[in-house]
Amino acid sequence: MKNCQAFKRKIVDYIEDQLTEYEHEEFKEHLQRCKQCQTEYSKVKKLYEVLDNDTVILPEQAFFDSLKIKLRQKNWVPRKSYIKRIIKILVPVFAAAIIVLLLNQPDKTVEMRVSVSVLLEDEEIAVLGLSGVINEELIDELSVVEEYLSFEVDVTIDELSEEEQAEFIKNLYEKYNIDA
């Protein structure tokens, strides 16, 4: 006979009817004769009942109607456009870095493709991609640049003034020896 620990791990699957027919019957039989598992089962079952009491009060239809209209307004600007802004800044930097390093170190090259969509972990929204023929050293360099795509930097850039943003780009250009 299996120990209780193995049965306890199956309580959620039993409640959600995810067990095979054999496992289901086995669990049911065990439950009938094991007080400890009955207690555990009752607690999880009760948790499901409590959580099922959680209801969502939907907004009035007018909210959805006005949103539908708002979407089609040509001058509509999304509340947060920092992803687009960061792409706008970093894509030229990546592209320029790839070209410069390609020109300077043409020997012993490997091909690497860096998709911004992957970097942003959102393949469907960010469709821009980067590619280039680069060497192994550049791969290390690019991994450093990738750090600039972290959320904290996003926020930081969002909060920068135009002058500070220009300074930020200038520093990136200097870091990678790119002629502005």
Residues forming the site for another protein (CB under 8 A): 12, 43-44, 46-47, 50-51, 53-54, 56-59, 63-64, 67-68, 70-72, 76, 78-80, 121-122, 124-125, 127, 151
* 94, 141 contact by CB (below 8 A): no
- Asked if residues 146 and 138 have their Cβ atoms less than 8 Å apart, the reply is no
47 versus 110: smaller Cβ distance to another protein: 47
Two structure tokens written together for 123: 């393949």
- How far lies 13's CA from each of 36, 49, 131, in Å? 18, 16, 46
Residue 25 CB, nearest distance to another protein (Å)?
22
Query: Which CB atom, from 80 or from 88, has the smaller least distance to another protein?
Result: 80
Q: Write down the least CB distance from residue 18 to another protein, Å.
A: 9
Contacts of 161 by beta carbon, 8 Å cutoff, 6+ apart: none
Residues 107 and 142: beta-carbon distance below 8 Å: no
Least separation in angstroms between CB 43 and another protein: 5
The minimum distance between CB 131 and another protein, in angstroms, equals 19
